[in-house]
Amino acid sequence: MPFHQLIRFVFPIFFAAYSIISDIPARRGNHLVREENGFAERMMCFGSHDIQPAMYIISENENLLERLKLLILNSPVLDGSPEDHNQDEAHAMLAKRRDHCAPNNKIMILVAKNWDQLMMETIGDIARLMMAHCPDGQGKLMIVKKDYDSSDRDTLQNLMLDVRQQWCQEWTFQFEKVRKLAESEARAEALKRIDLWTSPKMPNYSIVHFDDPELPTLIANNFDLKNGLVIKDSLARRPSLFSKPPALHWSHFPRETELQVMFKFTFPAGTMTEPLFRDMSNAAKQAFDWEYDYEWTGGIFLRQELSKISLYRASNRVVELAGRIDTDEYAAEMEDETQAEVPLKKVWPLLSRVLKAVIVDTLTYKTDGKLPYQMNIAFFGAQFFKDINYVDVNGPITARLLDSTQLLGALERTGNIKFGIGKRLVGVDLKQAFPGFQPHTLADIFAQSDLPVSSSRASSSPLITTPVTNIILDNNNEEDEFPTNSLNGINSINSDRSNNQSGLLGIQAKNRGRRVSFGAIRAIPTSTLGENAFLHRDSSLPPVNGTHSRSTESLEPHNEADGTANEASVSNFVDNLLKKTMDEVLVMD
């Protein structure tokens, strides 16, 4: 074959192969999302902030930001040459969206004429963010203010001193509280971790006049900008996420037939940023090959058979990681009655995988262990608790939030967990809370991720009903081996939900076909396995405008005992299926 014909034959094949390969995401955090409506595909890149900009600019209003852009564009100091493609990049945002600022050691804040509450809170949050990620004091913070006078410098200095003083007092208190606990491995780990957070240095801060004719030079010198500066809108770089949680899988609290264990992370104000939370969500998703996942602006929902995992931002300071399972659903799936008594045994291998990904891959690796947080463990479900001295007339305990260091230390020292509510002494049923293991450290919990994930005998179908479990709001008023108070009692669970939905998810599923109830009409009634064997398939409901991954459905005709149900064609089978369904529909008055 002549050479030119060979080129004409090979080149299209090479080009097609290259096009296919180039469409494959090169990063682990990338994935394609196919929308149900329109089948529009778009690429999401979580973790795109790994390529850090030179600096961030936070403005009180759009007018100040636009004026700064024009000033830099017309400045010979920062405009850069037209052919220069190596200009330093600044990501800009308004103060009310400051949580989109990733950790960075160069941040500029534009302030209008007055020190209003929004800007005082913004400067405080950014100062805490820089102290958390640059505890050695190497961060640079510049305040650019309109109508600047000498008193503004004192105002800024007092604000920065107050922020650092409050930080040091808070974490010194936490250190002393843990130090007073009895010796344990969990206590030693916590002391080592908190000691890194007790006394960070303040960033190098300064304040200048917005109308100073030398402002471009001051900016360039302060932030060491040598290649010019281009300002870009940070929101334009964000991946598009859905704003609502999964409509058919979400509820504030577990149902009465559900058990849940939750890890609650509380961070200093301003330090849990949007980019960091997206890293946590991505780490949770990559921890396992889930049957179903749905990510929205407030969190991510993951499901594997009967186990439901959620990572949810309950407030700007609180992130909740929860694992949940329906006890009735679990009992129906398990042939062994002894296994059916411990539903969380199915949840822990998955929950520990996600917990390890969140703590090790994100909070430790991504931040070098510098980001401080408090961690509590909550149990939801009356099966977790048992009265030790007497049964209270107010009914059983259904939920409790406990300090993780105290809990793990108590397990190591005494092998049990007890707490007091007034004169009532309550214990935690360890067989239900930690089936098959008794953790003394976080590493012991992480070790559960090495266990195989058990599979159910059949898949399940969601039921659209989400009653709310009653929450006991009592506090402990007397000291005990495992005390609870307003800081770690159940009212702490509710405190972060006053203006937000809870980070807890709900779904009930039964092996009786799909039932949908809207009050008056109830469709697809219960039937026997022989009649409805074709319904025993993965019937995961797709979310409303959500990401739907790896949920497959197969519909195969069932040959009944007399052999007469073997359909001759697909159309006959569908007709018979519709007829049988319509005959069994029950309309309720």
Q: Measured between alpha carbons, how far is 90 from 68 in angstroms, rounded to an integer?
A: 12
Q: What is the pLDDT of residue 570?
A: 54
Q: What is the mean pLDDT of residues 208-212?
A: 94
Q: Is the pTM of this model over 0.75?
A: no
- The SS3 assignment for 381 reads coil
Give per-residue burial for 106-129: e unless 16+ CB within 10 Å, then b. Answer: bbbbbbbeebeebbbebbbbbbbb
Summarize pLDDT for 552-571 with one digit per residue, the tens: 333 233 344 444 444 445 55
In the chain the first and final C-alpha atoms are separated, in Å, by 80
Write the single-letter amino acid at 168: C
Q: What is the pLDDT of residue 85?
A: 60
Range with lowest mean pLDDT among 41-55, 385-399, 401-415:
41-55
Q: Number of C-alpha atoms within 13 angstroms, CB side, residue 35?
A: 12
Q: Number of C-alpha atoms within 13 angstroms, CB side, residue 10?
A: 7
Summarize pLDDT for 496-554 with one digit per residue, the tens: 554 444 443 343 443 433 333 333 322 333 333 333 332 233 333 333 333 444 333 33
Q: What is the mean pLDDT of residues 307-335?
A: 89
Name the pLDDT band for 454 (thresholds 50, 70, 90).
Answer: low
Hey, what CATH topology would domain 50-237 get?
Rossmann fold (3.40.50)
Summarize pLDDT for 42-53 with one digit per residue, the tens: 233 333 344 678
Q: What is the pLDDT of residue 195?
A: 93
Summarize pLDDT for 410-438 with one digit per residue, the tens: 999 999 999 988 888 899 999 999 999 99
Q: Measured between alpha carbons, how far is 544 from 509 in angstroms, rounded to an integer?
A: 18
Give me the phi and psi of 31, to 5 degrees please: -155, 155
Residue 151, C-beta contacts closer than 8 angstroms, at least 6 positions apart: none
Q: Are 129 and 104 in contact (CB under 8 A)?
A: no
Check residue 502 and report its DSSP letter.
-
Q: What is the largest CA-CA distance in the chain?
A: 96
**% of the chain at pLDDT higher than 90:** 47
Q: What is the pLDDT of residue 579?
A: 63
Rank 38-47, 172-181, 229-238, 241-250 by mean pLDDT and report only the highest: 172-181
Range with lowest mean pLDDT among 133-137, 300-304, 436-440, 531-535:
531-535
In the chain, where are the structural domains located? 3-45, 50-237, 258-507
Q: What is the mean pLDDT of the chain?
A: 74
Summarize pLDDT for 113-127 with one digit per residue, the tens: 899 999 999 999 999
